Amino acid sequence: MGATDSAAAANGMNGSHGSVAQVILPDGRTVELPVLKDAAGQTFLDIRALQPSTGVCTFDPGFSSTASCQSAITYIDGNAGVLLYRGVPIEQLADKGDFADSAYLLLHGELPTKIQKRKFEIEIKTHTLVHEQLIQFYKGFKHDAHPMAIMVGVVGALSAFYSSTSEVHDPAQQLRACMRLISKMPTLAALAYKTSRGMPIIYPRNDLSYAENLLYMMHAVPCEPYKAKALETILILHMDHEQNASTSTVRTAGSSQANPFACVASGIAALWGPAHGGANEAVLKMLAEIGTRDRIPQFIAKAKDRNDPFRLMGFGHRVYKTYDPRSKIMKQICEQVLENTGVTHDPLLEIAVELEKIAVHDEYFLKRNLYPNVDFYSGIVLRALDIPVSMYTVIFAVARTVGWVSQWKESMLEAGKITRPRQMYMGQMERPFVSLGRRGDAAVIPGSEDAESLVLEETAMYGGYQRQVKAKAMAHH
């Protein structure tokens, strides 16, 4: 069997899957790759048998041209600016639905009936509390610890309290773990916030909605309805977004059959990166740096200058080549929240609106498909809701948990292999071991800090910890 036949046979492909594409390899061999179509009609080349049958791998850093899985959860058309949750447009969910509608839809595939929705909401409220021993875990973090650092630890630690979730292929245990994660995330987030501020914790109230509960546990008082509605919309807009960095991380961890709490903790860690979850904070800093509307042209010029490090934050997206559909909704929410708070002239909003007007009519940005994304206005909304900057990515994580567990649950239904990408090796080939006495006299470790300063830093931190322990012991006696 030649390369042409083996590639198709290894996948069990036949004519029902569509046509084949012929690829000519550098050595002159021709290989036929099955051509697949998704529900939207997009074309994919099935390359699974390429390496086993020919020894040739593909190279796609960042996976921008590679589909890592099949999914029926979220659809994005980046050229048309379309975002669908299970086929339902994001605009309709944000306008007509609520948190329970969207979460149930992503998790189960259909919008709930009245009875299903009521049961779903009751189950969420049933699982909002966390074990008191987990609350003790929070006390081990420094008071100035970043809330995301705390979240990575405590979400992973949930697996120590729910050992049954190790049965990752049991549908009942899967759903139970998903519901626990969705339910407990607002509580865990609020606890992380209170810990980072050294403030007493607030327990959840089951008479409040999902968004109301989160704001209540953060601020200790019930919020105004418009604030709860604004936060609920933010949660809906951020619930899922196809195979982004954090979602792909969750699926990758899940492919090893890790428990769902560990998988979601890995997603939180990926989301913490400023290139993923911290963009709205960067937008606020940029708007503050611009300062006034009359300075916008100056910063537009800086953004166009290749030699200038300044970049317009909140513009452009890896997928969207036009307006991010979520950004238009976020702008409306921003205007409504500021109107309800009585802020008639918010300097940052005025700069943002003017910046958007200029950028979307500038040929430089149009050619590069640099349109406002969901992060452009979300920071202003969160600030108006009295949510501190350190919690912006945590709020993102609370919302995205619905998507993470939905994607994880879907991936558990697949008979897939553990994720194991290839690499293009660019290092040295085999060479002999050199004995220590023949390795030269170099004293500095390349790229490392001075060892003495690191020792002093660690000693100071440990010494501070010892002083705290002694102070507590003396107070106890």
Q: How do residues 84-142 score in pLDDT, each as one tens digit?
A: 999 999 999 999 999 999 999 999 999 999 999 999 999 999 999 999 999 999 999 98
Q: What is the pLDDT of residue 445?
A: 86
Q: What pLDDT score was predicted for residue 348?
A: 87
Q: Which residues contact 180 (CB under 8 A, 6 or more apart)?
A: 127, 158, 162
**370 pLDDT more than 60:** yes
Average pLDDT across the chain, whole number: 90
pLDDT of residue 62: 92
Catalytic residues: 317, 375
Confidence of residue 293 (pLDDT cuts 50, 70, 90): very high
Beta bridge partners of 32: 22
In 3D space, the residue among 99, 100, 82 whose CA is nearest the CA of residue 91 turns out to be 82
* Low-confidence winner among 168-182, 370-384, 460-474 (lowest mean pLDDT): 460-474
pLDDT, residue 449, reads: 66
Q: Give CA–CA dist 470/421, Å, rounded.
A: 50
Under DSSP, is residue 130 helix (H, G, I), strand (E, B) or coil?
A: coil
Return the SS3 of 77. Answer: strand
Quickly state the pLDDT bin for 279 (edges 50, 70, 90): confident
Residue 393 has pLDDT above 70, yes or no: yes
- Over range 311-319, report the average pLDDT: 88
Q: If pLDDT is split at 50, 70 and 90, which confidence band does 2 have?
A: very low
Q: Which residues pair with 82 in a beta bridge?
A: 77
Q: Residue 303: its pLDDT value, please?
A: 92
Mean pLDDT along residues 36-59: 94
Kindly report which listed range (44-48, 301-305, 359-363) carries the lowest average pLDDT score: 359-363
Cα distance between residue 414 and residue 425, in whole Å: 30
Chain length of the chain: 477
Q: Name residue 442's beta-bridge partners.
A: none
All structural domains of the chain, each given as residue ranges with its CATH number in brackets, are 3-58 (2.20.28), 71-414 (1.10.580.10)
DSSP code for 82? E
Q: Is residue 8 over pLDDT 60?
A: no
Residue 9, pLDDT above cutoff 70:
no
Confidence band of 474 (pLDDT split at 50, 70, 90): low
Q: Does residue 463 register a pLDDT over 90?
A: no
What is the per-residue pLDDT for 46?
96
